[in-house]
A = this chain, B = another copy of it.
Amino acid sequence: MTEKPYKTALIVGAGPGLGASLARQCRARGMQVALAARDPGRLSGLAAELDLTALECDVSDPAAVARLFVLAEAALGSIESVFFNASGRVKGPLATLDAKAVADVIAISAYGGFLVAKEAALRMTQKGRGAIFFTGASASVKGYAQSAPFAMGKFALRGLAQSAARELAPLGIHVAHFVIDGAIRRAGSSADGDSQLDPDAIAQTYMAILDQPRSAWTWEVEVRPWVEKF
């Protein structure tokens, strides 16, 4: 395959769970990695441990996302893979939800995904290669009661991912959407054995999809614990 392997990764919406596992596994395969979070101070330990770049970004702000890509490129060179994990959530009966809070959930979970995809597409279409991976949830395909805002954000992100895949795959850019169907185990916790999603196990599947030759690309894959009802 001429198109592989990717040498750099930008992980947007990186916390101590999946984001950290993705960072570790990208680093383990020799990739340069930048992490972005609203509060990058929370990433300082990880950044030091893995020798990677931590950047601040409000993903719902177009200018901030544009700047993020510029800074990430300055640190890593051309961005060849992007992982979008950011999301927000508010719960409760529809009639009682705060309108502003719902707007914020959509802005972070879906609009932020668009802004990141736009900047990534701008660069990757010029190279004819790259990967843009979106992290979904059970709520990406099932709208649960009293959780409309999260469903709206995650459904929208899935629509974005599917549209992006249809546009960008024929241009050589791999777009994939991951339905994380279950609770992710907190880093360091082992109380629940493997009955909750281990972020390292999830990241392993992201890496496997990242390794796919383009003759057999996946645009969507779901993962859940063996004991999870679905």
Interface positions of A (Cβ within 8 A of B): 62, 93-95, 97, 99-100, 102-103, 106, 110-111, 114-115, 117-118, 121-122, 125, 139, 142-149, 151-170, 172, 174, 185, 194-198, 201-202, 204-205, 208-209, 211-230
Q: Quick check: B148 and A160 within 8 Å, CB to CB?
A: yes
Partner of A99, one of B115, B174, B195: B115
Closest CB-CB distance, A115 to chain B, in whole Å? 6
Q: Quick check: A163 and B185 within 8 Å, CB to CB?
A: no
Interface residues of chain A: helix, strand, loop or mixed (majority):
helix
Q: Quick check: B216 and A164 within 8 Å, CB to CB?
A: no
Closest CB-CB distance, A128 to chain B, in whole Å? 11
Q: Quick check: B214 and A223 within 8 Å, CB to CB?
A: no
In the complex, the 4 A-B pairs of residues with the closest C-beta atoms, listed nearest first: A155-B159, A143-B162, A143-B163, A208-B208
